[in-house]
Amino acid sequence: MRTLNSGILLVNKEPGMTSRKVGNLVGKKFNVKKVGHLGTLDPFATGLLIIALNEGTKVLPFLEDDDKTYVAVFKLGLLTSTLDPEGEVIKEETIEPFNELKIRETLEHFVGEVTQVPPLTSAIRVDGKRLYEYARKGESVEIPPRTVTIKNLRLISYIHPFIEIEATVSKGTYIRTLGEDIGQKLKTHATTVSLKRTRHGNLDLKDAKVLDDLTIEDLIDPSAALSFFPKYKLDDRGIVDVRNGRQVKVDAKEEIIQIVDDNGVLHALCRKNGTFYQPFKGFNL
């Protein structure tokens, strides 16, 4: 049975809501029960949030490893329990302004592979439990460091004690942690007081809308969202084979391809298997 209203939406998330809350409101607005989101934004954060509806949720795993770009403001001299404005102030000190060249040199230090210790309020799992669950119960836990990649780190402005930066980062990077690490390098602290995601892979904030302005016409269909996989058209018999999980012969060379019908409707993703292509992800569109 075909599923209507399937695809992804680019939401310009406003402050004050969790990513899950945004997803719930989108589902309610369009009367859709199957809703997912990609790349969680904290309640204080804003910007690009990818929301998937129905069959569009099958697209999300293919986007989750994409780089992300953020614009953030760090306040030097401030340390909160969560490294963001929602936490309790642990320490706040007045510090002398830095030479802007010093700020730029410090940022350059973090470009490339860096080791981060995720904040205790993050959602990653340690020993089967999310870190924020330990934090809520006041339990201590050893957090394993992780290696992430800062692809680009650019100073937008420095108006003491605020540093505004743009960062393009790999999956798993915590901007809050990056801010505090920059503060530590400057021999102080730094808390992220503003955070906006402007890009996720090839998807851009300029194409997103706030929740109230979204319409069903803004849905990006799964095939378009997976445009990095080339499309190949099969006749009706080939479509039946694909939908039944059978291998098909396709004149293609790519590792993964989209199989579409004469109307351009996506039916499956297929992976190369010798001289054939094997369906591994089906779509009911």
Summarised one tens digit per residue, pLDDT across range 260-270 is 999 999 999 99
Comparison of pLDDT for 117 and 159, the residue scoring more = 159
Of 124-133, 156-165, 190-199, 248-257, the one with minimum mean pLDDT is: 124-133
The per-residue pLDDT for 138 is 64
Q: What's the average model confidence in pLDDT over 5-30? A: 96
What's the pTM?
Answer: 0.92
Of the listed 42, 84, 181, 221, which one is catalytic? 42
Answer yes or no: are the C-beta atoms of 135 and 126 closer than 8 Å.
no
What is each CA distance from 250 to 211, 242, 267, 274, 279, in whole angstroms? 41, 11, 15, 11, 12
Answer yes or no: are the C-beta atoms of 236 and 261 closer than 8 Å.
yes
Of 138-142, 186-190, 215-219, the one with minimum mean pLDDT is: 138-142
The per-residue pLDDT for 268 is 98
DSSP reduced 3-state for 168: strand
DSSP reduced 3-state for 82: coil
Looking at the predicted structure, is the pLDDT value of residue 250 above 60? yes
- How far is Cα 174 from Cα 116, in angstroms, rounded to an integer? 8
Q: What's the burial of 137, exposed, middle or buried (CB within 10 Å: 0-12/13-18/19+)? A: exposed
The per-residue pLDDT for 276 is 96
Going by pLDDT thresholds of 50, 70 and 90, the confidence category of residue 128 is low
The per-residue pLDDT for 201 is 96
Question: How many other C-beta atoms lie within 10 A of the C-beta of residue 144?
Answer: 9
- How far is Cα 47 from Cα 67, in angstroms, rounded to an integer? 15
- How far is Cα 55 from Cα 12, in angstroms, rounded to an integer? 22
Answer yes or no: are the C-beta atoms of 257 and 230 closer than 8 Å.
yes
Question: How many other C-beta atoms lie within 10 A of the C-beta of residue 92?
Answer: 13
Q: For residue 141, give the H/E element and its range.
A: none
- How far is Cα 250 from Cα 22, in angstroms, rounded to an integer? 41
Active site residue 42: yes
Of 17-31, 86-100, 115-129, 175-189, the one with minimum mean pLDDT is: 115-129
